[in-house]
Amino acid sequence: MSDDLDRIVHDTLAALRQVQSPEALASLRREILGRRGRLAGLMKTLPSLDASRRAALGARLNEARTRLEAAIAAREQELAAVASVRRLDAEWIDVTLPGRRGPLGRRHILRRTLDEVERIFMGLGFEVVEGPEVETEEFNFERLNMPRDHPARDTQDTFYLTDDLLLRTQSTAVDVRVMIGRTPPMRFVTSGRCYRRDTVDATHMPVFHQVDGFMVGEGITFADLKGVLATFAREMFGAGTRTRFQPSYFPFTEPSAELAVTFADRWLELGGCGMFHPRVLEMAGIDPERYTAFAFGLGVDRPAMVRYGIPDIRLFWENDLRMLDQF
Amino acid sequence: MRVLLSWLQEYVDITDPPEVLAEQLPMLGLGVETWERGDGDVIFDLEIASNRPDLLSLIGIARELAAWRRRQVRLPVDTLEETDPPCHERGAVEIVDPVLCPRYVAHVISDVTVGPSPPEIASRLEAAGIRPINNVVDATNYAMLEWGHPLHAFDLETLADHRIVVRPAAPGEALVTLDGIQRSLDPAMLLIADVRRPVALAGIMGGAETEIHPFTRTVLLEAASFAPWSVRRTSRRLGLRTEASARFERGIDPEGVLRAARRCARLIARAAGGCVLRGAIDAYPAPAPRPTITLRLARIPRVLGVRVPSDDVVAILSRLGVETSRDGEILRAIPPVGRRDLEREEDVIEEVARHFGYDRIPEAMPVEAMHQGRRPPRLEAESAARDALIRSGLTEAMTVSLIHPRLLERLDLDADDPWRQAVPLANPLTAEHTHLRPCLLPGVLEAARVNVNRRRQAVHLFEMGTIFRASAGGVEEQRALAVAMRGRWLIGDWNASDDGQEVLFYHLKGVLEVLVGELRAGSLSVEAGGPRWLHPARAGRLFIDGTALGVAGELHPAVAERFELPGRTYVAELDLDELLRRAVLQPRFAGLPRFPAVRRDVAVVAPRSLPHAAVEAALRESVGPLLESVELFDVYMGPPLEEGMRNLAYTLTLRAPDRTLTGEEVEEIIRRVHATLPERLPVTIRT
C-alpha cells in the first residue's frame, strides 16, 4: 500500500510539471485530491488495516495530501503568472504613434503684449481705464493743444466720420477725458486701437494699438518720467535693458522725448513721452502751477514685431493659425 | 531736410566725424533719417519737428551745433551795394489783409543777366535736393536753405503796373503755376497779384507768366510772411506741397523777412550781375512785438527733476541766441528772430533740458502712496471671458475694424438688419476699408477662410472687439463676441473616421455654456430660429435670463460658399456688454453636500419635434426642489420606436440639503414624474 502512495506522489509531482493550463491543473487536482481521487481511494482502504498500520498509513496519507496541495498551489501560481504576462503581452501598443491632443486655445499675440504692458503699469500703481475709439475733434486734437490747422496734424492723417467725429489717432485723447473732473494725484494707463490714414504695407496698417499713460501730482518731474519708463522697460525687456530719451516735439508735451530701449543690441523705438503742456492741464481744469504731469504713448504693434521677429505687420491681422499657434 | 556737411561748416566750425554727428544730432532733437558719404562730402537727411521752421535752414542747424560745441555761428554776409533810383520808384506793394500777410518786403534788382548758376551753387542745391534753374531762381533757393525763409523772384516787367497786391482770390479766378498746371482758385486762398491778375499762390508757388526767363532784365524779389494756417489750407486744398509751403506752414517770423531778402538780393547781384536798387519796399503794417518770457529758475527743477546751475541756464540760452537778463530768481528771456516756437516758460525749460542733455537728467521714482493699480470690472470680466473661451480650446483672432460693405453682403442680410447700418468713413483711403464694422462675424469668417485656403481645415476662432452703430448722438460703440468653429476637434486623431470627429453645433453650444457658466452670468437658453445667414433648421437665438444675447448656429451653406468655406461651419455672435454686465467674478463658496444623492434614470418616448428643453423643464417642475441636476445621457431614434419618435433618457440626481432621502420619498418622486410627465407633454414613459 505504501508503494501505491509513493507512486501517487511521484506521478503527481511529475504530472504537475507537465501541466500548462489552469483547466488541466484542476482536473489533476480532482484526479488525485478529489473526493473520488486516488488519495481518497487509499483512504477507503484504511479501515481494513490493523490499528498500527492504519495509524502509520493515515499519517503518511495526510502528509502526502499536504505536500501535494502545496505543490499544486505553487504550480497554480506559476501558471497564473505566465498567463498574466501573456495577457498583458497581447495588449501591446505602439508607444511611438502620435499623441492625441485636445484643442488648445491662446491669446492673440498682440492681446498678450497689451496685457503684459498693462500688468507692468498696474504694478507701478497705474489704474487701467478705457476710452472711445470714435472721438471728437475737441478731444483728439484741440484739448491736446493741436488747434485746427496745426501742422502737427499732418503727421496724424485722420479718418473722419463727420466734420466733428473722427477715429482717434492716439489714445492720449483718453488721458484728457480722465483728467477732467478728477483731482490729482492720479495715474492712469489705457490701451486700445488707434487709426491713421496709412497705406497698408509691411510696417503700416490703418489700425494699430497704443498704450497711453500719465501721472499728475504736485512733484511730478521729467526725472520721474524717466524712472517710470526705465522701470517699465526693464520689466518688459529684461533687467539689463537700457533706455534712451531723445528730444522730440509733440504739441501736448513740453519738454517732449522719444523713448527707445536696447533690444538685441539695437535701439528699439517704443514711442513718445514728455511733461504735459501746461495748456493741456489748464484745458482739463488742472492748475499747472500747482501740479505737473508726465505722459507717454507707446506703440505696441511695431515693437512686438521686433521683439518676436515678425517681418510683416499684416501677419498680426491675418490670423493664420500657423502664426498664432507659435505664441 | 538734406544737409551738406561742407556747406553747414561755412556757418559753424564743426570738426566732428559724421558718425559722431549722426549720434549727437538726435540728442539735440534733430532726427537723422539717413546719412551718406559722397564726393568727399557727407549728406545728412534730417527729420525736423513741425514746430521748428528755423531748423529747415542751415543757420538754424548750425546754431544748434554751435550751442552744443560752445562755438559761435558765422552769419552770411548781407551787405548790399545799392544804386539809384530807389526801389519804390520802380515798384509798389499793397497788402489787403495784414492778418494773412503780416509783412511783404520787395527788392528790385535791375540789369541782371539770366544764365546758369556757378557750379558750386548748382551742386550745393542739387545735394540739397533742389533742381538748379537759373542764377536768379537758384539764388532764392540758396538763400532759403541758408535762412529757412522762402523767397520768390518775379520778372518785374511782366507785373502789370509793377505793383504787387496781396489779396484773397476772387471767385472763379485761375492761375497757371510754375509747374504748368492750371489751378482753380477760391476766395479762401491767398494770392500775390498785380493790378490785373494773380501772379503767385502766396507761400506756395509762383505763376508761370511772371517767372524769370532767359531775357529777364529786372527782378522783383519777394520776401514775405504769411499766416501759416492759410498756406496750409491752400496747399492741402490744391494737393500742392513745396519747399516754400513746408516752411510757411510752420510759421515764418516776420522779423526775419528783411534779413533774408537782403541776403538773397546780394546773392542775385553776385550771380547774375545787376544792381540792387536802393532801399527795400517794406510793407509791415503791424510789426510783431518780440515776446519776453519770464523764466522762474525754481521752475526748472520742478519740471525736470534736476538742478541746472543758473549760470549754465544763461549760457545755454545765450548760445541759442536767446537774450537773457537776470532779476534775482527770475530770468527774462527774449528769443531770437525765427524762434516763434518759444512762447512760454515751459518752452524755454525745454531748451535748457535739450542742451543740458536729457541723458543727464536722473531716473527717479515718483513719491506717491504705493498701491497696486486695478482694472475696471468690465475689463476684468472681459479677461475672464477670454480665458474661458481659450480654456475651451478656441484661439483668439484680431481683425481690422475697418471693412467694406461687400463683406456684409455675403451674409445676405435682411433689409432691416441693423448690421446694414455700417458707419461710413468720410475720407476712406482704400477701397477695402470704407466703413466701421457693425459686427465681428465677417472678419472672423475671413480669418477662417484664410486658414482653409492654406489647407488648415480645423479652425476654432473667436474675436472680442468693438463694433460701431450709427446712433442719434453720433456713433455708438459696443463690445461683441464672435465665434467660428469648423473641422476636427482633436488633433493627431489618427484612427478616427473623418465625419465622427468634425465639430457639431453642440460643440459650439458647449463652448457658450462654459462661457456663461464660468462668468456665473445667469442661465443660458436657446430658442430655435435665427437670421437668414444661418442654416434655417440649425439656428438658435440665445437668451440669458430671458434677455436676448445673440445667435448661434450653422452657417447657411450659401453664405459659407460665399466665404469659400466648404463643409459645415458653426458660428455665433453675441452682445458681449450684455453678457459681461452679468458676470460674477468673486463667487462665494456654496458648501459641499453633507448628505448622499440618489440617482434615478427616466426615459421618455417623445415626438422628434418636441425640444429637449421642454422635456427638461417639465422634469424639473415635476420633481421639485429636491432635484439637484438633470442630465441627458441618451438620444435614440429607430426601431423599435415608431417613425418620428425618439427616446430621451435622463439621469435625475436627487438630494436633500438636510437629510438622507428615504427610499420611499424617492419612489414617490419617481411615481409623480411618471404620472405627470405624460399629462403635460405628448410623451410616454419607458419603464
SS (H, E, C) B298-354: CHHHHHHCCCCCHHHHHHHHHHCCCEEEEECCEEEEECCCCCCCCCCHHHHHHHHHH
**Closest CB from A185, A246, A255 relative to B26:** A246
Cβ pair A134:B394 closer than 8 A: no
Judging contacts by C-beta atoms under 8 Å, the chain B residues touching residue A227 are 362-366
- The chain A residue lying nearest B31, using CA atoms, is A248
Q: How large is the average pLDDT for residues A224-247?
A: 95
Give φ, ψ of B436 to 5 degrees: -85, 140
Q: Is residue B372 part of a domain?
A: no
Q: Is residue B216 part of a domain?
A: yes
Cis amide linkage into residue B85, ω under 30° from 0: yes
Q: What does the pLDDT read at residue B369?
A: 66
- The chain A residue lying nearest B426, using CA atoms, is A161
In angstroms, the separation between the Cα of residue B449 and the nearest Cα of chain A is 10
Same domain, B384 and B514: yes
Partners of A204 in beta bridges: A201
Q: What is the CATH number of the domain that holds B41?
A: 3.30.56.10
Judging contacts by C-beta atoms under 8 Å, the chain B residues touching residue A209 are none
Q: Is residue B76 part of a domain?
A: no
Same domain, B303 and B420: no
Q: How large is the average pLDDT for residues A227-243?
A: 95
Same domain, B306 and B396: no
Question: Is A259 in contact with A272 (CB distance < 8 Å)?
Answer: yes
Question: What is the ipTM, given to two decimal places?
Answer: 0.88
SS3 annotation, B35-94? EEEECCEEEEEEECCCCCHHHCCHHHHHHHHHHHHCCCCCCCCCCCCEEEEEHHHCCEEE
In angstroms, the separation between the Cα of residue A67 and the nearest Cα of chain B is 52
Judging contacts by C-beta atoms under 8 Å, the chain A residues touching residue B354 are 247, 255
Cβ pair B454:A322 closer than 8 A: yes
Percent of chain A with pLDDT over 90: 65
CB atoms < 10 A from the CB of A62, how many? 12
d(CA A179, CA B645): 66
Q: What does the pLDDT read at residue B460?
A: 96
Number of domains forming the structure of chain B? 5
Judging contacts by C-beta atoms under 8 Å, the chain A residues touching residue B492 are 98-101
Q: Is residue B620 part of a domain?
A: yes
Q: What does the pLDDT read at residue B459?
A: 94
Q: Which domain holds residue B546?
A: 377-491+499-581
d(CA B44, CA B56): 13
Cβ pair A255:B349 closer than 8 A: yes
**Closest CB from B31, B305, B461 relative to A319:** B461
Q: What does the pLDDT read at residue A2?
A: 56
Cβ pair A249:B436 closer than 8 A: no
Cβ pair A152:B358 closer than 8 A: no
From residue B542, give the alpha-carbon distance in Å to each of B251, B411, B505, B553: 60, 19, 13, 10
Same domain, B92 and B197: yes
Same domain, B11 and B113: no
Same domain, B211 and B353: no
- The chain A residue lying nearest B372, using CA atoms, is A125
Domain locations along chain A: 2-90, 109-324
From residue B354, give the alpha-carbon distance in Å to each of A229, A256, B27, B357, B660: 19, 10, 8, 5, 81
What pTM did the predictor assign? 0.87
CB atoms < 10 A from the CB of B493, how many? 15
In angstroms, the separation between the Cα of residue A172 and the nearest Cα of chain B is 18
Contacts of B26 (CB under 8 A, 6+ apart): A246, A247, B32
Same domain, B454 and B435: yes
Q: Is residue B176 part of a domain?
A: yes
Cβ pair A189:B430 closer than 8 A: no
Average pLDDT, rounded, for chain A: 91
- The chain A residue lying nearest B363, using CA atoms, is A227
d(CA B495, CA B473): 58
Same domain, B541 and B607: no
In angstroms, the separation between the Cα of residue B76 and the nearest Cα of chain A is 28
Q: What does the pLDDT read at residue B370?
A: 75
Query: Could you say which residues of chain B have pLDDT below 50?
Result: none
Cβ pair B302:A102 closer than 8 A: no
In angstroms, the separation between the Cα of residue A163 and the nearest Cα of chain B is 9
- The chain B residue lying nearest A109, using CA atoms, is B396
Cβ pair A103:B460 closer than 8 A: yes
From residue A186, give the alpha-carbon distance in Å to each of A214, A293, A295: 8, 9, 12
Percent of chain A with pLDDT over 70: 98
Judging contacts by C-beta atoms under 8 Å, the chain A residues touching residue B508 are none
Judging contacts by C-beta atoms under 8 Å, the chain B residues touching residue A255 are 303-304, 346, 349-350, 353-354, 358
Cell of B260: 533774408
Cβ pair A165:B428 closer than 8 A: no
- The chain B residue lying nearest A148, using CA atoms, is B229
**Closest CB from A161, A257, A275 relative to B423:** A161
Interface A-B, measured as beta-carbon pairs within 8 A, has a size of: 264
Preferred mutation among B99, B306, B365 to probe A, highest tally of A CBs within 10 A: B365
Cβ pair B364:A227 closer than 8 A: yes
Judging contacts by C-beta atoms under 8 Å, the chain A residues touching residue B295 are none
Give φ, ψ of B495 to 5 degrees: -100, -5
Q: Is residue B288 part of a domain?
A: no
pLDDT higher for A33 or A296? A296
Q: What does the pLDDT read at residue A3?
A: 63
Q: What does the pLDDT read at residue B290?
A: 85
Q: What does the pLDDT read at residue B472?
A: 84
Q: What is the largest CA-CA distance in chain B?
A: 129
Q: Give A135: exposed, middle or buried? Use CB within 10 Å, 0-12, 13-18, 19+.
A: buried
Cβ pair B390:A106 closer than 8 A: yes
**Closest CB from A107, A199, A247 relative to B354:** A247
**Closest CB from A111, A115, A224 relative to B366:** A224
DSSP state of B207: B
d(CA A173, CA B526): 41
Cell of B393: 480650446
Q: What is the CATH number of the domain that holds B115?
A: 3.50.40.10
- The chain A residue lying nearest B469, using CA atoms, is A134
Cβ pair A110:B428 closer than 8 A: no
Give φ, ψ of B171 to 5 degrees: -55, 135
Same domain, B621 and B681: yes
- The chain B residue lying nearest A158, using CA atoms, is B427
Cβ pair B492:A98 closer than 8 A: yes
Judging contacts by C-beta atoms under 8 Å, the chain A residues touching residue B27 are 246-247
Q: Is residue B592 part of a domain?
A: no
SS3 content of chain B, % helix, strand, coil (to 5): 30, 30, 40
d(CA B44, CA B22): 8
Judging contacts by C-beta atoms under 8 Å, the chain A residues touching residue B474 are 134, 161-162, 165
Same domain, B59 and B140: no
Cβ pair A255:B354 closer than 8 A: yes
Q: What is the CATH number of the domain that holds B649?
A: 3.30.70.380
Cβ pair A224:B365 closer than 8 A: yes
**Closest CB from B27, B250, B451 relative to A246:** B27
Strands A127-129, A186-195: pairing is: parallel
d(CA A180, CA A285): 6
Cβ pair A224:B350 closer than 8 A: no
CATH topology of domain A109-324: BirA Bifunctional Protein; domain 2 (3.30.930)
Q: Is residue B269 part of a domain?
A: yes
Question: Is B177 in contact with B201 (CB distance < 8 Å)?
Answer: yes
Same domain, B119 and B210: yes
d(CA B582, CA B519): 8
Q: Tell me which of B69, B100, B115 is where a domain ends.
A: B69
**Closest CB from B250, B359, B367 relative to A219:** B367
**Closest CB from A103, A133, A165 relative to B393:** A103
Same domain, B530 and B632: no
